[in-house]
Homo-oligomer: A and B are copies of this chain.
Amino acid sequence: MIKLAIDGMGGDFAPEPIVKGSIEALNKYDNIEIILFGDQEKMAPYLIEHDRLKVIHTESYLDMGVENPVFEFRNNKEHSLFKAMQYVKDGHADAVVTAGPTQAVVVGGQLILKKMKKMKRVAIAPIIPSYDRQGKLMLDSGANVDLEAEHILDLAIYASIVAEEVLKRNKPKVALINIGEEEGKGRALDREAYELLKNNKNINFVGNIEPKEVFTHEADVLVTDGFTGNIVMKSMEGTAKGLGMILEREIKSKLRNKIGYLFMKPALKNFKKSLDASEIGGALVIGLNHTLIKAHGSSNDFAFYNAIRQAKEMVEKDVINKVSKILNEEEWLNERIFKNIKHSI
């Protein structure tokens, strides 16, 4: 039985979509057990009796606009998010799922679940939409403002395993986000990361990708530092939002457009759906000792259900142990190379 600790109070519309999404997941998968952390009274209207659903009441929960999660953590470990994390840390469950505030999720992950011994950084890896409807993992999307080339390599190895095991890609293709396709493009960081990625046997590196190909490129995993990844994510979000607004303005401007809109409504709805993160799931917070999924703050039932599904698959496929094993080998390999170099000097 896979046990999932769920933060019942995280998210813009919590607890309703969280509880409903959890029940949906319980009905769909009979190998999961869900433990909901949160305000029992607030969750009550949506709860049902279920033999694989348990509720643990918490006195408090984090505000979605929380500004200093480190301070919150130091002063109150009773917040629903932190309690769910501690429950997993203590070995009572296998993974945490939350739609809570990103920064607090990353901070809590590092302070409670703790970084994997071999991972130097934690990263956020959402699945971004693509033309082929498959989605791509993009990381780091904002956990680290600065990253070094070797951190990007670690992230690429981790994400490759996730892409293979959870997204079911065969030899997942990894690309480095950059301002040009050719080798040698970009900042010193990008050139260093290119070298490391190219020479690593654990990943299938296909070179640089310019973000103008972000919807259509063949890669399964896109890697970059957390500043750049965040800028790409937010540029995509801003462009999609802006284009949607412009399209709406055009449609409303004339009667004939409105008539056309009635015909095209299902197409436009599908169009919107294909951009919708809820179809794919949440972002993985990777680099920790336990599986942690951060669903979008504005998640509806279905989006949250999908985030739970991701957590379940991460645990089923034993992703964390697989990553840990490869990173251990990497280190062993690097040490050996290093010794040989020293020896030859």
**A residues near B, CB below 8 A?**
129-131, 142, 145-146, 177, 179, 186-187, 210-216, 227-228, 230-232, 234-243, 245-247, 250-251, 253-254, 256-257, 259-268, 270-271, 274-275
Contacts and interface: CB of A to CB of B under 8 A. Distances in A.
A269 B77 CA distance: 55
B215 A179 contact: no
A177 B261 contact: no
A234 B210 contact: yes
A251 to B, nearest CB: 6
B235 A239 contact: yes
Contact of A227 (B130, B179, B241, B259): B179
Contacts of A267: 247, 250-251, 253-254, 257, 260
Given A239-B243, A260-B261, 18 more contacts: A145-B179, A211-B235, A212-B235, A216-B238, A216-B241, A216-B242, A227-B228, A231-B235, A240-B243, A243-B275, A246-B271, A250-B267, A250-B270, A256-B264, A259-B260, A259-B263, A260-B262, A261-B264
Identify the interface centre among A230, A251, A257, A267: most chain B CB within 10 Å of its CB. A267
A210 B242 CA distance: 13
A22 to B, nearest CB: 29
Contacts of A265: 260
A215 to B, nearest CB: 3
B246 A266 contact: no
Determine chain A's interface SS by DSSP, over half rule: helix
A27 to B, nearest CB: 31
B264 A251 contact: yes
Contact of A239 (B186, B214, B227): B214
Nearest to A129: B242
Contacts of A275: 243, 246
Given A250-B268, A256-B263, A267-B257, A145 B186 contact: yes
Nearest to A258: B263
B257 A263 contact: yes
A218 B236 CA distance: 19
B260 A237 contact: no
Shortest Cβ-Cβ A-B pairs, 3 listed: A215-B242, A260-B263, A260-B264
B179 A142 contact: yes
A214 B243 contact: no
